[in-house]
Amino acid sequence: MNVLTITEKAAERLRGILEGKDPKPEAVMVSVTTKGCSGMKYDLQLLNHLSDAPKYADTVTEHGVTVVIDPKAALYITGSQMDYREDALYSGFDFANPNETGRCGCGESFSVAPTASDV
């Protein structure tokens, strides 16, 4: 199972973000922070150099973009799909995560079932 898949629409938006920076970052890193009313929130950071990635980080390259997965987040997002959504009320990256057990009403944060090490 892939840690993360990236849709063409998400890759297109990421390319636009990366190409708009000078110097152009080499990758985007996805991590998970403890935040929001459901407990966890996705966090995206630009990495100027792939060598800045944390030790043991997974790297996914699809549709011409490279996304680094923070090793602390891999447990929570393995199998997820990163997409980009834009409509009249919202624009942003959206994660379809099979590990989610709930989301807050605004969709900003999510929760997962506790693992044996969390109990």
| Residue pair 69/60 in contact by the 8 Å Cβ criterion | yes
User: Rounded CA gap, 54 and 38, in Å?
Assistant: 26
User: Rounded CA gap, 88 and 2, in Å?
Assistant: 32
- The model carries a pTM of 0.82
Host domain of residue 11: 4-106
What percentage of the chain's residues is helix, strand, coil (to nearest 5)?
A: 20, 40, 40
Q: For the domain that residue 28 is a member of, what is the CATH number?
A: 2.60.300.12
Q: Give the pLDDT score at 17.
A: 95
119 within some domain: no
Among 23-27, 55-59, 73-77, 80-84, the least confident range: 73-77
62 within some domain: yes
| Residue pair 66/59 in contact by the 8 Å Cβ criterion | yes
The predicted-structure confidence for 13-71, as pLDDT tens digits, reads as follows 999 999 999 999 999 999 988 876 657 888 999 999 999 999 999 999 999 999 999 99
Name the domain count of the chain.
1
List Cα–Cα distances, 84 to 6, 15, 42, 50, 107, in angstroms: 9, 12, 13, 23, 14
Residue at 64: amino acid letter: G
97 within some domain: yes
12 within some domain: yes
Q: Whole-number mean pLDDT of the chain?
A: 86
59 within some domain: yes
19 within some domain: yes
